[in-house]
Amino acid sequence: MTPTFPLSAIQGQPQLVQALLLAAIEPALGGVLIQGPRGTAKSTAARALADVLAPAPFVTLPLGASIEHVVGSLDLSKALAGSEVAFAPGLLAKAHGGVLYVDEINLLPDAIVDVLLDVAASGINRVERDGISHSHAARFVLIGTMNPEEGALRPQLLDRLGLCVQLANAQDPRLRSAIVKARLRFDLDPAGFLQDHAQEQARTAERLRQARARCADAGQLLWSDAVHEEVARQCIEAQVDGLRADLVMLRAARALAAWEGCDAITEHHVAEVTPLVLLHRAGEPQRQAPPAPASAPSPSSAPVPGPQARFSSTANFHQNNAATHSQEQPPLDWGEPQPVASAPVDAQQADALALAALEALAAKKPAPPARSADASGAPPRPGATGRSVLDGERTRKPCASHGAALPRRHA
């Protein structure tokens, strides 16, 4: 069996250890999302939590798993052998009572993530597919890790994950060297390293067991009105959507009070768990407009609000809007007829320009078509001359005897 790095030996990540313990104390929180770069003890802490919960299974969900592999499906071997409809358990059933670890949860299909979050919150896996109807208990601590640089989860899925921890690389040289020394000691002598932390591991496991028992008792650690009001105030200030954040914060505060062995939940517990609950749910903070330079004159005595400012009434909105855009308004005489300057023109020069314009216009006007006449001066007969009926442009030529005297016939 591969030895597991002890939870009590993890250094530099107190928020991560606290979030994992709270999720183990109260499974209804819905799991923990761990964000951070590679090499920040994400998978090490997840396996260490399963070791503290021992005997508890540690199940890893691969990225290529299908929905049948996760929730379970029809047992085909029994169905083909004896015509028996039986259920084949999936990874959710195997993780019951332990830890379900999902590395790069942001790369899983949304359908599988939806199922994981539903089961993690309810503790029951219901399967209605492949001609079977089956349900079984599936209480586990869901731990999902992701690197924000490789993609993000949808806001609907983020909201359903109970707690969130943002990890960063250790920048203190002493802390960084202490982490490396502990890992090197564990790799060189796992048995000796585990022996050095055996007593602290035992105390952590016993303390965790007692806290889980207190949280399971509905008669202990009830929320007071002051705690409810503090939770509501924190969620309102963070501008979260819905009430899931309020429920998660109350449950996390209760789990922390159980872990610390307190007799009641106080506002101190709420303040401790607030960053874990609101890190992935808080809305975008309002950005204030930069102050105007001192040299620029203000268009109004009131300060100009920034683009993200909020106005309390319609009157204030129009007043501030007018102050903001006063420099962009057109001049007062915009649209009025303006006088046009003119110079005196000589009368003879004007007559010459008018005559030249008339001659140019007459030159462009087409001349009328010419009409021929016979020797007597009478207009031509129809058909003898003029335009062709077919094309309207070609002119018929008169015959050779046209206009000559005809011989007189004798009786």
CB 52, CB 204: distance < 8 Å: yes
- Cβ distance 385 to 395 under 8 Å? yes
Question: Distance between CA atoms of 244 and 218, rounded to whole angstroms?
Answer: 20
Specify the amino acid at residue 229. E
The active-site residue out of 126, 139, 185, 244 is 244
Q: Is 244 a catalytic residue?
A: yes
**Which residues are part of the catalytic machinery?**
244
